[in-house]
Amino acid sequence: MRVSLNFGRQILVLVAVLLLIPVALTVFMLRMINESESALVEKQKARLMRVVEQLDASLPTGFDAILAENGATDAMPVREKVAILNKELRGLIEEVKRAYPGVEAGFYSAQLDRIIDGSPPPYAGENFSSRRRRNFLGAMRGQLRSESFGPAEGGVLEIYKPLVRQGKIIGVVWATESLSRFAAQRQAIAYTAYGIITLGTLVGIGGALFVVHRFVENVNQIKLGLRSLRSNLDRPLPPAAGELREITEAVNELAGMVVRAQQYINVTLATIDEGLLVVDLEGRVVVANAAIMRILGLEAECIGKPYPEMLSPDEPFGRLLQEALQTGREVRDIPVVRRCQGQKERQLLASTAVLFSGERQPIGAVLCLQDVTERVKLQREMRRQERLAALGRLVMGVAHEIRNPLTAINCYLQLWQKSNLFPRQPLATMQEEVSRLDALVEKLLYFAKPAEARPVIYRVNHLVRENLRFFEDVVRVSIRTELAPDLPPVLVDPEQMGRVLQNIIYNACQAMPEGGLVTVRTYREPTGENVVIEVEDTGCGIPAENIRDIFEPFFTTKPGGTGLGLALAKEVVEAHGGRIEAESTVGRGTKMRVYLPVFGGESQGGEASPCSG
């Protein structure tokens, strides 16, 4: 604790010497100079005030009386009147000047607008500055005015006093004197103050140099330790001598905390399943955990090398990092299929993010790869098990659906065998039943084994417009679209998703046999993860007890329906990674919503394109 107090005292002495003493001396100097100037100016003002009062008292009458005594008329030129006044008042003015050496004094006639200072002809007292005119006018309003102007060494002080005769202001008495005779006194005071400041500054600098010299010696002892610490955090700084011991101890403690934090980070990165590749703004690899090395086949020597040398140009990972670094564009969970020679196929989800400093300045980017191969296999197996379970439910429905038309066909065949007659109506009925069986078998085959999807990058609004063309002229309902602009693309099979959309719209039209309104909307989910296609009708609605079963195979409330349309739609939407939901109010209508995941890759301007990755 004693060392800390010594160090603190020395720093305080240094600050006091360099700042407080010069500041205090400067304030003292300015105050002393200002006070001396103020005192001198006030003294000179009092002197000039005595001058103007003496002039005022020595003028017994007004200007008009003097002119009248000398025979001046109203028609006489102003210049001649001024000459008469200067002649008559010259002795009076000169007497005052002799009593007060260095003072200039005189009168101002408001009627003549001229200065009377006793000057001989041809001076007419008509040339004076706008500054003096302003002061004359101010004094004519009954104000005693004083003004100083110019530099301290050659400035001038002026006094203006109203000249009142018989209760009326007829002019001004003025006096002026140069301030130059006081400059030497002010200069002596200033030199004294500057000398004191210089002495105090020299003392302060001397003390500061002494403290700084000791401080620099201790700092130099630390510099070598910091250089070694930069390359090896496990090598602590040597103990510093004197006051900086606590600083070296704090640096060593901070280095130990950094080492421990780095160890924690390394252990954490090594244990997580996601692969992380961090690069700086120059594209050099800063962090690469074990998972990313395993997924991409990188070596431990990749740290510090440019990422383009590590990543294959045939894969999208380098391009995604480049976009994040150059444009700040981030992506999330882009599906990528990675095929390497001699290795099994891997299903990956790629994401990128820009890294920022505490000041929100970009410092790098991170690539995250999630190996979802086992998850995809598990999802496929779950869908297979679900399909097998659904097939068990299908058997009962198939038996019921096939038995009815076969019974009708069998009855007609027995009738023909007995009567040897072939009526036209039974033949038509048999043809309808056979067609119904064919359609049922086709749907069952699709449900049991859906066609292989061919996903491409597609615009949802384009998909809606393409499939609404079929309904515009063949249905008796009104169709309205509310399509949100600038929706991100999705990854879908346009043919399969088109059949889903047609089935939903067709069901909406069937729910309104007397006509109504079908509204097709598109928008982005508030979370931003999905694009939504919503089909709303104004039909009869679906009872609450049926809403949960409408996606089950063979569930239908329509006469002649198979109950497979929405079941197939649900199968297709889920195969695309989305979901389908229904919301209905009896008597008001139904809303069907299809949620499709946003594709994180590049958009192709609304045109179908091969699926990247």
Q: Is the pLDDT of residue 567 over 50?
A: yes
pLDDT band at 483, cuts 50/70/90? very high
- Give the CATH architecture of domain 272-377: 2-Layer Sandwich (3.30)
pLDDT band at 568, cuts 50/70/90? confident
Give the pairing of strands 530-537 and 490-492: unpaired
* pLDDT per position as a tens digit, 581-602: 999 888 889 999 999 999 864 4
> For the structural domain made of 9-182, what CATH number should be given?
3.30.450.20
- φ/ψ of 524, rounded to 5, equals -100, 135
Higher pLDDT, 218 or 392: 218
Beta-carbon count within 10 A of 66 CB: 19
- State which of 393-407, 424-438, 469-483 shows the largest mean pLDDT: 469-483
* DSSP designation for 496: H
Higher pLDDT, 324 or 259: 324
Higher pLDDT, 436 or 1: 436
* Cβ-contact 596, 463 below 8 angstroms: no
Residue 103 Cα distances to 90, 109, 163, 164, 248, angstroms: 15, 20, 19, 22, 74
* Cβ-contact 294, 275 below 8 angstroms: yes
How many separate helices (H) and strands (E) can be counted in the chain? Answer: 15, 18
In this prediction the pTM is 0.39
pLDDT band at 4, cuts 50/70/90? very low
pLDDT band at 461, cuts 50/70/90? very high
Least confident interval from 101-110, 157-166, 236-245, 307-316: 236-245
pLDDT at 607: 36
pLDDT band at 559, cuts 50/70/90? low
pLDDT above 90 covers a percentage of the chain that reads: 10
Q: Is the pLDDT of residue 505 over 60?
A: yes
Q: Do domains 9-182 and 272-377 have the same CATH topology?
A: yes
* pLDDT per position as a tens digit, 354-380: 888 878 888 888 888 888 877 777 776
* Class of residue 545 by CB neighbours under 10 A (exposed 0-12, middle 13-18, buried 19+): exposed
* Cβ-contact 190, 29 below 8 angstroms: yes
pLDDT band at 459, cuts 50/70/90? very high
Separation CA 505–CA 578 (nearest Å): 18
* pLDDT per position as a tens digit, 545-556: 888 778 877 677
- Give the CATH architecture of domain 453-601: 2-Layer Sandwich (3.30)
Domain ranges for the chain: 9-182, 272-377, 453-601
SS3 label, residue 187: helix
pLDDT at 132: 85
pLDDT band at 610, cuts 50/70/90? very low
**What mean pLDDT, rounded, does the chain reach?**
77
Structure tokens at 308: 């383009």
* Cβ-contact 491, 599 below 8 angstroms: yes
Side-chain half-sphere exposure of 174, counting CA atoms within 13 A: 29
pLDDT at 581: 92
